[in-house]
Amino acid sequence: MYNRALQEEIRMCIVNGESKEIVSVVSDAVEAGISPLTIVTEMLNPALKEVGDKFGQGEIYLPELILSAEAMQSAVEFLQPLLSAQKKGINSKGRVVMATVQGDIHDIGKNIVCAVLRANGFEVLDLGRDVPAAKIVTEAQKFKADIIGLSALLSTTLPYCRDTVRLLEELNLRNQFKVFIGGGPATPEYAASIGVLYGGPHAEAAVQNMLKAMEKE
């Protein structure tokens, strides 16, 4: 079941960064019979991608991007219990450990990626923010993760992504995990320079790239 009018309302809430209003509109979509997964993948994700593209093209600025991300987070937090219930019928796409690296307390982007990963059938262990490399590696081993996702919004914390890779190499664990990085200062070039994969400019891209990485196994 689909509803173009509700899709447009959701799009506008994301574009305008309306965190309070979006919960009501998403609730209306659920009551209209639209599945939570459809709401995430076909309504919320395209809207956030639109915002991310505008940011990348310089049409909007960081404060507007953050407001849109917060609106997205409000929506997925509302949908999370429904997504968890729906997930019981979805085969696991893989296991992902996500963390905002040491020294960085920004986690909105990471939280959205976690929610979209779960909505797409991944099992996710979210370690939170300001997480040192040793904890990331230890928890990835315990969780038997396929993927380690590292988030950094501050350019000064990018070196901690590299530290995680170095620790994996020192412990001869590098080949056990696909490592992704993402966040404002992360670039494909930096990812390549430390031997990891670039998640992408927004949550949807990160999830699609992780799906592709799992399909190559």
pLDDT at 4: 87
Asked if 68 and 76 touch (Cβ cutoff 8 Å), the reply is: no
Determine the pLDDT at residue 21. Answer: 94
pLDDT given at position 195: 95
What CA–CA distance (Å, rounded) separates 2 from 145?
A: 35
Q: Along the chain (217 residues), what's the average pLDDT of each consecutive run of 10 residues?
A: 84 94 95 89 85 82 83 86 67 90 87 79 91 97 96 90 96 96 92 95 85 84
In whole angstroms, how far apart are CA 181 and each of 3, 175, 187? 35, 16, 9
CA distance 121 to 128: 20
Q: What fold is seen in the domain 4-89?
A: 1.10.1240
What per-residue confidence (pLDDT) applies to 113?
85
* Structural domain boundaries in the chain: 4-89, 94-215
Phi, psi of 177 (to 5 degrees): -130, 145
What integer pLDDT is reported at residue 127 of this predicted model? Answer: 96
Confidence at residue 217, expressed as pLDDT on a 0 to 100 scale = 63
CATH superfamily of 94-215: Cobalamin-binding domain (3.40.50.280)
Q: Comparing 4-89 with 94-215, is the CATH topology the same?
A: no
